[in-house]
Structure 1
Amino acid sequence: MILNKVTDLIGNTPILSLPVPSKNSRLLLKIEKNNPGGSIKDRMARNMVVAALKSGRLKPGGVIVESSSGNTGIGLAITAIEFGLRFIAVVDHHAAQDKIAVMRALGAEIRFVEGSYREDEVAVVERQRLAAELASQIPGSVFMNQSDNVANAGGYFDFVREVIDQIGGPVDAYVGCVGTGGSMTGIARGLKLHNPNTRTIAVEPDGSIVFGQPGHPYFQSGTGTPKGDTVGLVLDYSCIDMGVQVTDAQAFETARYIAKHTGLLVGGSTGGVIYKALEFIHGGLIGGNVVAAVADGGEKYLHTVFNEDWLKSRNLLDPDIGKKLDGWLSTDSEEEAPRLYPRLSVA
């Protein structure tokens, strides 16, 4: 099939199965990094713009303003091109430089927030304030405000439909990262409508306040809600069965392990999701068809998550995590394991 525009490439991403010891479980990775902007956020970014245009809140030739750590911004930049809109991304020092470079390459205007912040401190409150201020000053502009935008969660309907069609059986559990709450809410709601018994597990960074734990700085990018911010209105706690935290070291070591042992580059937040999914499968808390989203790719974090010097200087290296993953990703079949992933340990 020949497509007509880049946004037609959004969706229909493949699923990759990772071998786990349990004969009754499969860890199924939905490869959302294959979207044209490289992340799951392409889905909701376009949906928010389409909804704003349909409602008349955003006019043809208008201006999109959004606070973003990068992935939503990339999705909005692509969508802005499709509809002939101007896009202004408000970012802080916490955003990966590669993401900012991509937004610029796509024609986005970048505005940095001012102020002194720690390297591991997300300036999301100031980002939101500046984005709202710009939208109030620039004629024809709209602040998308993904955290409170109902079209955020509505952008994941096709994700759910695709997963159900691809698996061809029940989705027994879904494990995903939670930031604004749009993807987690949209996917969890959809899966539970199809199968009320689906277990939904939301993963936030250790230091995030989404599930009421004490807040402190963290390095994971584009996920969680930092101390000082408020949880977005788009997040629906009622469709989430369990909220859990993952440390930066667990998330980053898992992303690096998956890259070296399977050839798949995943982002830091996805490393955290895979870590918790494997931990829960190994502990018998979930089983059957366990789906996890590869929210974005590791290509955007080559200078951080995949840079050993960067990790070492921030005390984020932990070889014991790799030993755990060896056990969680080994298989019972010595014949099958080398064929699937030759470098994985064999039980």
Structure 2
Amino acid sequence: MILGKVSELIGNTPMLGIDVPDTNARLLLKIEKNNPGGSIKDRMARNMVLAALKSGRLKPGGVVVESSSGNTGIGLAMAAVEFGLQFIAVVDHHAAQDKIAVMKALGADVRFVAGNYREDEVAVVERQRMAAELATQIPGAVFMNQSDNAANAGGYSDFVRETIAQAHGTIGAYVGCVGTGGSMTGIARGLKVHDPETVTVGVEPAGSIVFGHPGYPYYQSGTGTPAGDTVGLVLDYSCIDLGVQVTDSQAFETARYVARNLALLVGGSTGGAIFKALELIHAGVLTGNVVVPIADGGEKYLHTVFNEQWLQERGLLDPNVGAQLDTWLGKTQWLESSSAPLQLSVA
């Protein structure tokens, strides 16, 4: 099939199955990094722009303004090109440099917030304030405000449809990261309409306040809600069965483990979701087909998550995580028996 627009490449991402030894579960990784912008956020970014254009809030030739740590910004930059719009991305120092470079390559106007922030401090509040202010100052500009935008959650209906088809209608659980809550809400709602018994698990960084824990700085990018910010209106707690936290070390070491053992580069927050999914599987909390989206790829974090010196300087290395993953995925038994460590299949 020959397609006519880059946006038509969004969706229909493949799924990788991983058997989890000594459990009644199978991990299904939906490879959302295969979207043209490299992340799951391509889906909702285009949906927010389409909704704004259809409602008349955004006019042809107008300006889209959004606060982003990178992935949503890349998706909006792509949509702006397709629909003949301008895009201004408001970012802070926490955004990965490779994401900023991609946005600029797509023609985005990238604006940095002012102020002195710790390296592990996310300046979401200032980003949103600045984005909202810019939208009032620029003629024809609209602040997308993904945290409170209903079209955010509404952008994941195709993800749900694809996942149900790939899993042949049987999904025991879904484990995903919670940032604005758009993907978690849209996907969890859809899966529960299909099967109310599907267990939905939201994963946030330790230090995030989404599930009521004390807030403190963290390094995971594009996920969680930092102290001082408020949880977005788009997040629907009623469709989340369990909210859990993952440390930076658990998340980043898992991403590195997946790269070295599956040859799959995943982002740091995705590493956290995989770690918690395996932990809950081995605790007997999750069974059956357990879906985890590869929200974005590790290619955007080669200078951080996959840089051992960067991790060491910040005290983020933890060899115990790899040892735990060896046990959970049966690699220890494989080394002893010389049989295949992991059973993989593509759906």
Asked whether the equivalents of residues 179 and 222 of structure 2 are also in contact (C-alpha less than 8 Å), the reply is yes
1:19 is displaced (CA, Å) by: 2.6
In the alignment, the residues of structure 2 paired with residue 62 and residue 121 of structure 1 have an alpha-carbon distance, to the nearest angstrom, of 32
In the alignment, the residues of structure 1 paired with residue 23 and residue 207 of structure 2 have an alpha-carbon distance, to the nearest angstrom, of 35
Q: 1:123 to 1:338 in 2, by over 3 A?
A: closer
1:338 is displaced (CA, Å) by: 4.8
State the AA in 2 paired with 1:75: G
State the AA in 1 paired with 2:309: D
Secondary structure of the structure 1 residue equivalent to 2:161: helix
In the alignment, the residues of structure 1 paired with residue 212 and residue 23 of structure 2 have an alpha-carbon distance, to the nearest angstrom, of 35
State the AA in 2 paired with 1:124: V
Describe the superposition over 1:67-98 as per-residue Cα deviations: whole angstroms up to 9, x where unpaired. 00000000000000000000000000000000
Alignment partner of 1:337 out of 335, 340, 343: 340
1:22 is displaced (CA, Å) by: 3.3
State the 4+ residue runs in structure 1 displaced beyond 6 angstroms. Answer: none
Secondary structure of the structure 2 residue equivalent to 1:44: helix
Secondary structure of the structure 2 residue equivalent to 1:279: helix
Asked whether the equivalents of residues 77 and 106 of structure 1 are also in contact (C-alpha less than 8 Å), the reply is yes
For 1:236-275, what aligned pairs fall within 5 Å after superposition? 236-275=236-275
Asked whether the equivalents of residues 258 and 264 of structure 1 are also in contact (C-alpha less than 8 Å), the reply is yes
Partner of 1:150: 150
1:111 is displaced (CA, Å) by: 0.3
For 1:1-347, what aligned pairs fall within 5 Å after superposition? 1-22=1-22, 24-330=24-330, 337-338=340-341, 340=343
In the alignment, the residues of structure 1 paired with residue 282 and residue 56 of structure 2 have an alpha-carbon distance, to the nearest angstrom, of 50
In the alignment, the residues of structure 2 paired with residue 229 and residue 209 of structure 1 have an alpha-carbon distance, to the nearest angstrom, of 9
1:252 is displaced (CA, Å) by: 0.2
Q: Choose 18-27 or 40-49, whichever is displaced more.
A: 18-27
1:25 is displaced (CA, Å) by: 1.1
Asked whether the equivalents of residues 31 and 295 of structure 1 are also in contact (C-alpha less than 8 Å), the reply is yes
Describe the superposition over 1:138-195 as per-residue Cα deviations: whole angstroms up to 9, x where unpaired. 0000000000000000000000000001111311100000000000000000000000
Secondary structure of the structure 2 residue equivalent to 1:337: coil
Asked whether the equivalents of residues 60 and 84 of structure 1 are also in contact (C-alpha less than 8 Å), the reply is yes
Residue identity (%): 77
Q: Choose 23-32 or 64-73, whichever is displaced more.
A: 23-32
Asked whether the equivalents of residues 19 and 330 of structure 1 are also in contact (C-alpha less than 8 Å), the reply is no
Describe the superposition over 1:247-288 as per-residue Cα deviations: whole angstroms up to 9, x where unpaired. 000000000000000100000000000000000111111010
Q: 1:336 to 1:195 in 2, by over 3 A?
A: farther
Segments of 5+ residues of structure 2 without an aligned counterpart are none
In the alignment, the residues of structure 2 paired with residue 105 and residue 201 of structure 1 have an alpha-carbon distance, to the nearest angstrom, of 35
In the alignment, the residues of structure 2 paired with residue 181 and residue 221 of structure 1 have an alpha-carbon distance, to the nearest angstrom, of 14
Asked whether the equivalents of residues 23 and 281 of structure 2 are also in contact (C-alpha less than 8 Å), the reply is no
In the alignment, the residues of structure 2 paired with residue 123 and residue 339 of structure 1 have an alpha-carbon distance, to the nearest angstrom, of 40
Q: 1:7 to 1:336 in 2, by over 3 A?
A: farther
Describe the superposition over 1:307-329 as per-residue Cα deviations: whole angstroms up to 9, x where unpaired. 00000000000001100000111
Asked whether the equivalents of residues 18 and 342 of structure 2 are also in contact (C-alpha less than 8 Å), the reply is no
TM-score calculated relative to the size of structure 1: 0.96
Asked whether the equivalents of residues 259 and 265 of structure 2 are also in contact (C-alpha less than 8 Å), the reply is yes
Q: 1:336 to 1:158 in 2, by over 3 A?
A: farther
State the AA in 2 paired with 1:241: D
TM-score calculated relative to the size of structure 2: 0.96
Q: 1:104 to 1:95 in 2, by over 3 A?
A: same
In the alignment, the residues of structure 2 paired with residue 19 and residue 165 of structure 1 have an alpha-carbon distance, to the nearest angstrom, of 19
1:17 is displaced (CA, Å) by: 1.1
State the AA in 2 paired with 1:113: V
Asked whether the equivalents of residues 65 and 135 of structure 1 are also in contact (C-alpha less than 8 Å), the reply is yes
1:289 is displaced (CA, Å) by: 0.5
1:24 is displaced (CA, Å) by: 2.4
In the alignment, the residues of structure 1 paired with residue 84 and residue 75 of structure 2 have an alpha-carbon distance, to the nearest angstrom, of 14
Aligned length: 341
Asked whether the equivalents of residues 41 and 71 of structure 1 are also in contact (C-alpha less than 8 Å), the reply is yes
Asked whether the equivalents of residues 174 and 290 of structure 2 are also in contact (C-alpha less than 8 Å), the reply is yes
Secondary structure of the structure 2 residue equivalent to 1:215: coil
1:23 is displaced (CA, Å) by: 5.2
Q: 1:339 to 1:68 in 2, by over 3 A?
A: closer
In the alignment, the residues of structure 2 paired with residue 146 and residue 282 of structure 1 have an alpha-carbon distance, to the nearest angstrom, of 35
In the alignment, the residues of structure 2 paired with residue 271 and residue 288 of structure 1 have an alpha-carbon distance, to the nearest angstrom, of 20
Secondary structure of the structure 2 residue equivalent to 1:202: strand
